[in-house]
Structure 1
Amino acid sequence: MGNLENDEDRLWSCSLSGDGEAFGVLYDQHRDRVFRHAYRLTGNHHDAEDVMAAAFLELWRRRTKVRVIDGSILPWLLVTTTNMARNNGRAALRYRKLLDSLPRTEESSQPFDSHQENLDKDFSQALGTLSAEDLHLVSLVIFEDYPLAAAAAVLNMTPGAAKTRMHRARQRMKVALTGSTGAGTPAAGSHPTSVLEGERS
């Protein structure tokens, strides 16, 4: 593919024309982040693999309708991954052969880092207490480090509404993780609350 590998706009244009090789390069570029996001939401390796497969299948099937943000398909992929994780059916298993056949680079053949095995299951359950819109927002801002204004644009929210939702979502997750609405010391094992403390404006 030559210099196409560093040009997502051109790769996506080729994919829109049905170029499976270009789509395979995009798959390689984004699969690690999509997998980590899916694992964060599902709490286990097997379901995360299924969710990732389903998200990329949707990307291919709906490619003519995908909304590209700042020249990247990643925000759309992350939102779709969140939707797939919420539904988390077993249908994704049917699509694994299709995705496994896509070209990929050797260095990206292992998307799962061993330290991800230590992610707290309680954190995944806390994410499950959020509404769909709040989960999308938290996913983009906290986990994927998008500025709040950019995440709001992706989700068709005003910046003010997004800020209010972020505050409420963080509070809801803290309650789910600590079992307390107060400002006291978090319960043992609730270390994931540290990731909820900040956000990019």
Structure 2
Amino acid sequence: MRTGSGDDAEDWAAAGRGDGEAYGRVFDRHRGRVRRHAMRLVPPEVDVEDVVAVVFLEAWRRRRTARLVDGDLLPWLLVTATNVARNATRATMRHRRLLATLPPAEHAPDPADRHDDGAAVAAFRRLSVADQQVLALCVVAGHREAEAAAVLGVPIGTVKSRLSRARKRLGAQFAEHPAVSTTSGGHR
């Protein structure tokens, strides 16, 4: 699809004088064709958008010397895209060969797998959602009871009673599961 040689010739001449808007029109006019061309040339692990960006960077760098063919810059862009795609493909192949020479990495266990969340978190998770909410707001986050009541949409008296019962239930969780409390390495 030719866009008219006059468009490229005029815009490219203006771009050569440093007109960024004219360069932008050339970019908008040819970006799709350059991208489709690059997609046919590079392996899937090469980012096509990177190839397109390098092509247009080269076009900007060489805006005074890039050759138009019958007033059209697209042929020059496609040749440049071919060269950039070849370079990107060669770099990818070199990277693959390098990775193939490296010994396989030893599996390092995740340190989080060796530790549980602690006795308090385990006990907290066994509480009801209502108990968790009031404890999270008042104890963990440090909000006043009035603020917790506003967040939960309940009267302040309800928050006070829920908080009192939730603390008792949390204490009971430690009593019911003594192996989880302080003997498993958790902190009080």
TM-score scaled to structure 2, two decimals? 0.43
TM-score scaled to structure 1, two decimals? 0.40
Larger Rg: 2
